[in-house]
Structure 1
């Protein structure tokens, strides 16, 4: 007797549904430092927060995830041309073409801080304390809170391709300060404990911005579908657990 119908019908339907759902194509910026993005020797996405959250988001959609590593200068055009479905370490304030894209609800917060050498003579408690300083930032990124500094020439913006090169320039005395997220700074110190001892995390919080997913005009998943998936991950506590796994624990 044939056993073709021995598997429960719901398993067959679930498998067919999973196969039918298109993969969520996620773009990630190669300039994002660990733990946001971790690349292998072939410059492919290896691990990190973007990968873990992307896999969880795709699973919540009943789909699979496909990742493309892009230069920061290609992120906006790749989205606008729908070469990827989403970029999720994003915020409208960081994008020059934000009005041409869809935007989900908040996903997780990015807190920007200022790092200097421990020997730095100033305590950075506000934007005025960066006056006449050489400030290292990531090339192609927007820093709304620091725009007044760039516009009036009160400080010098020094672009670097990645956080690692910016912090190396700081260690060599080529710049005076670095602006980056707490998560990225903590991950760098964990990977570089000796030079990390020379760093000082300044008290001023440059910005607290919630990241969202930027959605391409022809994305295979709508903003509404993505919002539902993000809400599900939040309700299940998955987003919080993933982020806590990358938090810097001093003990």
Structure 2
């Protein structure tokens, strides 16, 4: 019996090793609910589940490459990754036909966020000169002029969760956060302790880019992404990670 079990285990391991690999990029700056990384490998989150679903649909094994945001462009240019998700076309400069775009999958809303006591809507241009929380390597195009003029100064953190933790700890009065990360941060807090969205800074549609190469099932990957959106599976994944866990009093 032990020999049979050993043979089955070896066969399973060999089969997995023989599966073709689909290489996904993961930005170090991502945080929950987008993704959670342990020991340089993602273990849960919206994008983690999305990538696994795509790899499953095309019969490949997902392989994750966790990289600093500023190294992602170089990895794409070198062909070191096959699929990069959660990107907008305005963010990338890639040679024509090197990568193909999926349809828009997610909507990112970047918000000006304040502490729980902040009640009134407030635009970034209305802020007095001060430092605000930002994510390292991320460009906030609509408020870059305020950084350039010196009215606002960036206080960068490695990822979005750290930005919100510092805001919650009064390291600064305001920060920029995407809606998904803010909802995740607030989901276990009572209503009176939640960080407050004050204004929409920028809103844009994000999708994935797929390396256009004969060794990849490019059209299959694009169809898998389309099916995830059209079938409602992607929305179910999002809701799994964004539903509040504490009732509002």
What SS does structure 2 have at the residue aligned with 1:142? coil
Q: How does 1:207-222 map to 2 (within 5 A)?
A: 207-216=202-211, 218=213, 220-221=215-216
> What's 2:103 paired with?
105
> What's 1:241 paired with?
236
Gap change, CA 1:190 and 1:219, over 3 Å in 2: farther
Instruction: Supply the RMSD in Å over aligned alpha carbons.
Output: 2.8
How far is the alpha carbon of 1:52 from its aligned partner? Answer: 0.2
> What's 2:45 paired with?
48
How far is the alpha carbon of 1:223 from its aligned partner? Answer: 5.7
2:187 is aligned with 1:164: no
> What's 1:4 paired with?
none
> What's 1:175 paired with?
172
Gap change, CA 1:203 and 1:219, over 3 Å in 2: farther
Structure 2 residue aligned with 1:232, among 227, 245, 248?
227
1:101-137 superposed Cα distances (whole Å, 9 cap, x missing partner):
63322112122222211234x7344332345242211
Name the TM-score, length of structure 2 as normaliser.
0.79
How far is the alpha carbon of 1:24 from its aligned partner? Answer: 1.6
Gap change, CA 1:160 and 1:214, over 3 Å in 2: same
Gap change, CA 1:219 and 1:161, over 3 Å in 2: farther
Name the TM-score, length of structure 1 as normaliser.
0.78
What SS does structure 2 have at the residue aligned with 1:144? coil
- Whole-Å Cα distance in 1 between the matches of residues 157 and 133 of structure 2? 7
List alignment gaps of at least 5 residues for structure 2. Answer: 1-15
- Whole-Å Cα distance in 2 between the matches of residues 124 and 219 of structure 1? 51
Gap change, CA 1:201 and 1:158, over 3 Å in 2: same
